[in-house]
Structure 1
Amino acid sequence: MSSAEIAPTESGHRQSSRRFRRAQKVAPFVFLAPAVLLLLVFLLYPLVSSFRLSFVSWNGLGDGGDFVGFQNWVRLAHDTLFWRSALHNILLAVFSVVVQLPIAVVLAVVLDEASKGSRILKILYFLPLLMSSVALGVLFKNIYDPNFGPINGILSELGLYSWTQDWLGDPRLALASVIAVVSWQYIPFYMVLFLAALSSFPREITEAARLDGASGRTIFWRLKLPHLQGTFRTAALLVLIGSMRYFDLIYVMTGGGPENASEVMATYMYRTVFASFELGYGSTIASAMFFIIMAISIVSLRVSQRFETEV
């Protein structure tokens, strides 16, 4: 074969190689394009649109409303009901971390150690998470009913008449009653997270510790709990973010009442938009929720990273 025939072949190979490398660089963007497009349409655009509406006064009808500048934000800064609802979100987050995560860890450890009947127990413990929040809200609204609910009925049968309460109608008890149901619903989710983390814990270490005379309590505190630190931080972050945006179950059970005793930011925003028809101010509340959740997420990540470094 002559050199004149070899030259075009080598040139074609180089062109094919360049096209292949170019295709390799472009391929990730092609596959990511649909997901990015969905995020832009259903996440970024509503977020920017909501922030834009926070600068107008609009009832949601007719044209886009009147531009009022920072008037809605000034109103929000002086809105005691909004800050009270934000405090309720914080209380929900704190009690969710304090109640849900320790119970979830204990259940995960027990189910991880159990051999007989562990599958049945996992299914039973996971059932609350399979129910919709609306169905749970209706169910527990009837359970908490002061006249016909089983809680007061059992207390009356035991002669504890002074313990019977209007659980959802008393401003002192409404928020605590709702937090109890939220915790009961989401404990199985975090239990599954901890179970998944425990499944990666080497069994040889546990067996070796037992041969050395370590008790179950020592194995838990010295070996398994440090192994769960990363999962615990992730679960805590999920609890904090979820508690800041919780809505459906609270709305079904109390609607934010009585006397705004169980009002959270999401229910306050919903009532502002769909009951008072103040779409501009409701968008301001939604934007404030976004900034609060983002700030809490950033702080939580920084704290968890510092803790991880120290440990």
Structure 2
Amino acid sequence: MSVGEAVTAAEKLRRSRAGSRRLHKAAPTIFLAPAILLLMVFLLYPLLSSFRLSLLDWNGLGDGARFIGLQNWVRLAHDTVFWNSAWNNILLAFFSVVVQLPIAVVLAVVLDEASKGSRLLKILYFLPLLMSSVALGVLFKNVYDPNFGPINGILGAMGLYSWTQDWLGDPNFALGSVIAVVCWQNIPFYMVLFLAALSSFPREITEAARLDGATGRTIFWRLKLPHLQGTFRTAVLLAVIGSMRYFDLIYVMTGGGPENASEVMATYMYRTVFNSFELGYGSTVASAMFLIIMVIAAVSLRISKRFETEV
């Protein structure tokens, strides 16, 4: 092979390697492009469109949209119903974390330790999550019915007539009644989440701890609970975000009433757009809802991360 041919072959090899490196670097972009495109179409564009509509005074029909700048945002800042609904969302998120997650952890540990009948128990515990939220809302509207519902019926049969209430019609009890149903429905989800995390816990460690005389309580607090730190952090984040955008069950059970006692941001946004036909202001509520959820999710993530490192 002559010198010229050797140089040409070396140049071709260099170009081939350079092309392979470029293709290797471009591979992540190529594979991520469909997902990025879908996110832009179904997430980024609606989000930007919502912020754009928040600057308009428009009922959503025809060409009567009028640009009003930040007037909708000023109105939102003084809207007591919106801030009350945001507070209700915060209460829902708080009780979702302090009620759902501890019960879910206990059920997961019990099912993880159980041998006989554990499969049947898993199915029974998981049934609430399999039910449609709309069907569940209709069911519990009848359960809470002040005249024919089983709750007041049982209280009346026990002679506790003073305890009977209009659970969904009384502003003092409506939100709590709805939160109880929300927690009951979503506990199975977190139970399965913790159960999956416990399945990766080495059985040898549990057996060794028992041989050393450790009780079940000690094994749970000293070994299994630290093992669940990462899962618990994820569960907190999911519970908070899910609670901040909850809609269907509350809308079916109370519609946000009575007297806005069980109103949450999603139901208020829905009523503003589809009942009052204020698309501009409803978009403002939706945009504010997004910002609030982002802030609360970031704070929850930071707090749970700090708790994880401390524990």
Q: Shorter-chain-normalised TM-score: which range?
A: over 0.9
Query: Whole-Å Cα distance in 1 between the matches of residues 34 and 185 of structure 2?
Result: 34
Q: Deviations over 1:86-108 (max 9, x none)?
A: 11111111111111011000000
Provide the C-alpha distance between the structure 2 equivalents of 1:31 and 1:222, rounded to a whole number of angstroms.
43
Q: 1:15 deviation in Å?
A: 2.6
Query: Does the alignment pair 1:44 with 2:40?
Result: no
Alpha-carbon distance in structure 2 between the residues aligned to 1:305 and 1:149: 44
1:134-187 CA distance string (max 9 Å, x none): 111111112112222222222333333332221111111111110010000100
Count of matched residue pairs: 311
The answer on whether the counterparts of 2:236 and 2:304 sit within 8 Å (CA) in structure 1 is no
Q: Per-residue displacement from partner, 1:205-259 (whole Å, max 9, x unpaired)?
A: 1111111111111111111112112211211111111111100100011100111
**What amino acid is the match of 1:161?**
Y
1: distance between equivalents of 2:123 and 2:51? 43
Q: How does 1:197-212 map to 2 (within 5 A)?
A: 197-212=197-212
Contact 2:233-2:305 at 8 Å conserved across structures: no
Does 1:161 find its partner at 2:156? no
Give matches, 1:183-202, under 5 Å.
183-202=183-202
3-state DSSP of counterpart to 1:274: helix
- 1:123-272 matched pairs, under 5 angstroms: 123-272=123-272
Structure 2 residue 292 is the aligned partner of structure 1 residue 296: no
Q: Report the CA distance between 1:298 and its aligned residue.
A: 1.4
Question: What is the Cα deviation at residue 201 of structure 1?
Answer: 1.3
Rounded to whole Å, the distance in 2 between the matches of 1:105 and 1:64 is: 54
Give % identity: 82
Deviates more, 1:224-233 or 1:6-15: 6-15
| Stretch of structure 1 that moved more, 64-73 or 80-89 | 64-73
Query: C-alpha displacement at 1:308, in angstroms?
Result: 2.9
| TM-aligned CA deviation for residue 37 of structure 1 | 0.7
1:105 is aligned to 105
Pairwise CA distance, 1:22:
1.7
SS in 2 for 1:121: helix
CA distance in 1, matches of 2:309, 2:150: 49
Query: In structure 1, how many angstroms separate the alpha carbons of the residues matched to 2:186 and 2:202?
Result: 27
Q: Please, what is the CA RMSD of the aligned residues?
A: 1.5
SS at 1:226's partner residue? helix
CA distance in 2, matches of 1:92, 1:62: 38
> What are the superposed Cα offsets for residues 11-64 of structure 1, whole Å, 9 maximum, x if unpaired?
333332222222212222111111111100110011011011111111111226
| Amino acid in the other structure paired with 1:208 | A
In the aligned structure 2, how far is the partner of 1:28 from the partner of 1:231?
A: 28
